[in-house]
Structure formats: C-alpha cells, structure tokens
Amino acid sequence: MRLIIEKDYDNVSQWAANYVAARINEANPTPEHPFVLGCPTGSSPLGMYRALIKLNKEGKVSFRNVVTFNMDEYCGIPRDHEQSYYTFMWTNFFNQIDILPENVNILNGNAENPVEECKRYEEKIKGYGGIDLFLGGVGPDGHIAFNEPGSSLTSRTRMKTLTTDTIIANSRFFENNVDLVPKTALTVGVGTVMSAKSVLLIVNGHNKARALKHGVEGGISQMWTISALQMHQHAIIVADDAACGELKVDTYRYFKDIEAANLDPATQL
C-alpha cells in the first residue's frame, strides 16, 4: 500500500485528480477499449472532481472513452432526489465533463428486483474486463462504499443496511434529520473493490483519523473494511495531515520518507 500524505484537502484533491488524469492518459482509451473508472460520492471526492473538471476544460484529460461505475446508491428515494447519488454525480461531475451519458453506470436503488440489479451490475463490470481504477472515500467507521463494519471482505454488489453511525453521519445531507436518511443502499462489495486493477482512496479530516489508523496500521479486519486494501497489490491512500493524527509518528515519517523517493512526475503539485 502507498500512503501519500499531503498538507491539506486542496493538495489531496489536486494529487488525486492528477493521478486519475495521468492513468487515463497513459491508458490512451478508445471506444473499443475504454478506461473503466469506479466513482465514489460523499464530500471527500468533491475537491478531486472539481480539479478533474478543470483539467478536462483545459484539455488535459478527456472522459470521452471513460466508462464509470458508481460505488453505491441509496434505496427508497427517487433517482432525482437531491441527495441521491445519481443527482450528486450528475451535478458535481458528469454534467461538467465530456463523458458520454451511456458510459455512466449507477446502481438503481429502486430496482424491482435488487438482487438481479446487483448481479447485472457485477456482470456489466466483468464485461468491460473489470475496473481499471476504483476511487473511494471512507466513512468514520472505516467503511468503503457502504460496506459497513462486519461486511465480508469478499462481498460483491448487494443490498446493505446502514449502521446508526452512518445514518447519523449522513444526516447532515438530510436536514440533520436521521429519520429522513435511507436505511438501506445497494453497494459494490469489498471484493468488488478488491477486484479492481488499482484503488485510490481519499481520506481527509480529523474525523477520519481512526479509520486511517485501522486501515494502515491495524490488522485486516471485517470491522474496518478499509483494511482489506492491505491485501491489494495496487492500493493508494492519499490523506491530509489532519487524517494522520492517530498514526504513530514512526508510521507517518516512514511513508513521508519512502514517498519522497517515489515521485511520479504526473502527480507533482
């Protein structure tokens, strides 16, 4: 695992955007061989999306031959609800880049048969030869996508019940009213993320410090699904200083040290 430590959220976002653009450009995607990108929602990736929009408008990266698969979607709220992940993605990213609408994939949280919907999603990902780069954030309890503590580390796309912690955390988007937060969601599994060729997580802010500590220094555990990334051959976490608050000083210095010698020109700020 690589842990990239940047001083603040802006630098984290720019680093992540530069990395994504570099990987897309390097793949030189075509309609026959598109670049397959896994996309998260939440506040963590917002800065990266803004930076990618800018890079797109400046002609430094194109999404024309990029196919996306979103991580998760709430169940039981209409697709055009202002807090659906569908609305989030179109408002904050897709409407502002040159992606083709037919290349966007988002789970249907209102599918009549959620089991079929999840199966269809997994098969579609497989049909593209898998996800090239899965982007993600992390919940304060260490969950990736909606793989709450206790989720199988080999899980695939399915319906999950949200924990009270997550419902409280996400109530900030629902008038601070926990009763308005959906109680279930469709989500890719930890195994789905692990099957991607590479994974990049954005972890920022003091409230993520415990999750980062468990993800980087803890043992692999279903109670902190972020920790599964320790088993991935190409996993990167880009974190700000605030999120590193619970790491050992030695761990912090170690990653700073090896990354100083591991400079990828494409991501230099």
User: Using CB under 6 A as the criterion, which residues of the chain lie in contact with ligand GLP when the complex forms?
Assistant: 40-44, 71-72, 137-139, 145-146, 166, 170
Least separation in angstroms between residue 263's CB and ligand GLP is 27
Least separation in angstroms between residue 249's CB and ligand GLP is 25
Helix (H) or strand (E) holding 15: helix 9-27
Least separation in angstroms between residue 132's CB and ligand GLP is 19
Strand partners for 196: none
Nearer to ligand GLP, 165 or 217 (CB): 165
Which one of the listed residues 6, 141, 214, 240 is annotated catalytic?
Answer: 141
Q: Cβ distance 193 to 136 under 8 Å? A: yes
Angle (CA) 169 177 69, round 5°? 50
Q: Quick one: which of 146, 118, 129, 115 has its CA closest to 196? A: 129
Nearer to ligand GLP, 30 or 43 (CB): 43
Which one of the listed residues 73, 122, 132, 143 is annotated catalytic?
Answer: 143
Give the phi and the psi of residue 146 in degrees, each rounded to 5. -120, 35
Least separation in angstroms between residue 23's CB and ligand GLP is 20
Which one of the listed residues 72, 117, 122, 240 is annotated catalytic?
Answer: 72
Q: Cβ distance 147 to 141 under 8 Å? A: no
Least separation in angstroms between residue 179's CB and ligand GLP is 18
Nearer to ligand GLP, 65 or 199 (CB): 199
Catalytic annotation present for 141: yes
Catalytic annotation present for 81: no
Q: Which tokens hold the place of 252?
A: 């912090």
Nearer to ligand GLP, 65 or 117 (CB): 117
Residue 110 is classified by DSSP as T
Q: Which tokens hold the place of 7?
A: 């001083």
Nearer to ligand GLP, 29 or 139 (CB): 139
Catalytic annotation present for 264: no
Q: Cβ distance 45 to 145 under 8 Å? A: no
**C-alpha–C-alpha distance, residues 155 and 189, integer Å:** 4
Q: Which tokens hold the place of 150?
A: 């206790």
**C-alpha–C-alpha distance, residues 114 and 109, integer Å:** 7
Nearer to ligand GLP, 55 or 185 (CB): 185
Which one of the listed residues 73, 122, 148, 240 is annotated catalytic?
Answer: 148
Catalytic annotation present for 98: no
Least separation in angstroms between residue 56's CB and ligand GLP is 22
Neighbours of 205 (CB within 10 A): 17
As annotated, the active-site residues are 72, 141, 143, 148
